């Protein structure tokens, strides 16, 4: 069965510091992996998607994620945090044979200190 674990429900960084949000998954088949961001009172916005074309995936707003099969991880990083990055981030996994079903992690709330 698919599952997603996000380590750390809250992460706090200083503006300009590295952002690292951790995600581990389990899947019985090669997965599709996603990172989404949610700002207060809004829906989810797609940051990036892994589809096996490349292990390092670049997304919007300077975010990127690296797929590591041996570690079953898909951590999200950004070299320099900006105040506008403060939001909740969700990692999700999908198995192609499950149609459009996304399994989400519990989310990580990112705070950015000035």
Contacting positions for other proteins (CB under 8 A):
32, 34, 36, 42-46, 49, 51, 90, 92, 94, 96-107
Q: How far is the CB of 97 from other proteins (least distance, A)?
A: 7
Question: How far is C-alpha 83 from the chain's CA centre?
Answer: 18
Q: Which of 23, 88, 28 is nearest to 50 (CA)?
A: 23
Name the residue nearer to other proteins (CB basis): 79 or 96.
96
Q: How far is the CB of 16 from other proteins (least distance, A)?
A: 30
Q: How far is the CB of 15 from other proteins (least distance, A)?
A: 27
CA distances to 5, 60, 90, 107 from 8, rounded to whole Å, are 9, 22, 12, 8
């Amino acid at each position: 069965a698919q599952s997603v674990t996000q380590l750390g429900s809250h992460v706090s960084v200083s503006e300009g510091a590295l952002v690292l949000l951790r995600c581990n998954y389990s899947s019985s088949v090669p997965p599709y992996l996603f990172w989404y961001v949610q700002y207060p009172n809004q829906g989810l916005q797609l940051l990036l998607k892994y589809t096996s074309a490349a292990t390092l995936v670049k997304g919007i707003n300077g975010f990127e994620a690296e797929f590591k099969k041996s570690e079953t991880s898909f951590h999200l990083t950004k070299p320099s945090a900006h105040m506008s990055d403060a939001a909740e981030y969700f990692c999700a996994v999908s198995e192609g044979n499950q149609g459009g079903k996304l399994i989400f992690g519990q989310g990580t709330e990112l705070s950015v200190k000035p």
